[in-house]
Amino acid sequence: MFISESSLPLPASSFIRAAGTLTASSPAIAWCQFDQACWQETLHQQWQLPLPATLQGAVLKRKAEFLASRWLVQQQLEQWGIANFLLRNAADRSPIWPPGIQASLSHSHGWVVMAATQAPLCVGIDVEEVMTDKIARETAEMLMSPAEHALLTGLPLPFAQAATLLFSLKESVYKALWPQLHQPMEFHQAVLTALDLHHHQASLRLTHAFSPAFTQQTPLQARFWLQPDRVITLLTHPLPGQ
């Protein structure tokens, strides 16, 4: 999926189909592909990743996403000497990472991605399946400003892929800022200002003042990876006070 990645060892199960990591990048990035049809409840015990009581009655999709995402987190953090870590969620459903770790997690249609760092950074990562052209057209007004629409339609990309990229970038903004703000964000409260397809980089800025550290006009920088059917975005920003 990524350039210069290393494969992660796979468990003795067909549930996790492939996995890899970019440990040399900052933040470190890890990913896995899973097959929800191969999910088995016994895997939770075998991998010491118990299914929470709140998910006992959940649909197969949610159970599979939980197992795959927790497996990936455990594999990545073990490389940093944090063994047998079980990712749990706070009351607001945000992930509770180990002290000194800033990280983000996302899953979509059989894929999980995570980004983690020990540096003082806000981190937000997102993976999205490319939306249909119909959905892209129907949601354009809600998702993008006229200036963003003009920027995206000027790119040598199918509009649906460009719209998915914008959606994913704004999801990464939200995920990166939530641990600092604990405030909901609207799509138009961050705007895409530039996009470099050659270097896979994007620039955004806030259009709303959320806090003294995240004011209107705060610039944000992101990276992205495009595939025909999938988009991954990663946004990092210095932690306030750093």
| Residue list for the binding site for Mg(2+) | 126, 128
* Buried b or exposed e, range 159-192, using 16+ CB within 10 angstroms: bbbbbbbbbbbbbbbbbbbbbebeeebebebbbb
Question: Which segments are annotated as binding site for CoA?
Answer: 62, 70, 106-107, 126, 171, 175
For residues 73 and 51, give the distance between their C-alpha atoms in angstroms, rounded to a whole number. Answer: 15
Binding residues: 62, 70, 106-107, 126, 128, 171, 175
- Rounded to whole angstroms, how far apart are CA atoms 211 and 241? 13
Identity of residue 162: A
Distance of CA 11 to the CA centre of its chain: 23
Cα angle: 119, vertex 164, 123; to 5 degrees: 10
Nearby residues of 69 by Cβ (< 8 Å), 6 or more positions away: 87, 105, 107, 112, 114
Give the amino acid at 26: S
Q: Which CA distances in Å does 103 have to 5, 62, 211, 214?
A: 19, 21, 21, 19
- CB 16: neighbour CB atoms within 10 A? 24
Phi and psi at residue 49, to the nearest 5°: -130, 75
Cα–Cα distance, 49 to 158 (Å, whole number) = 40
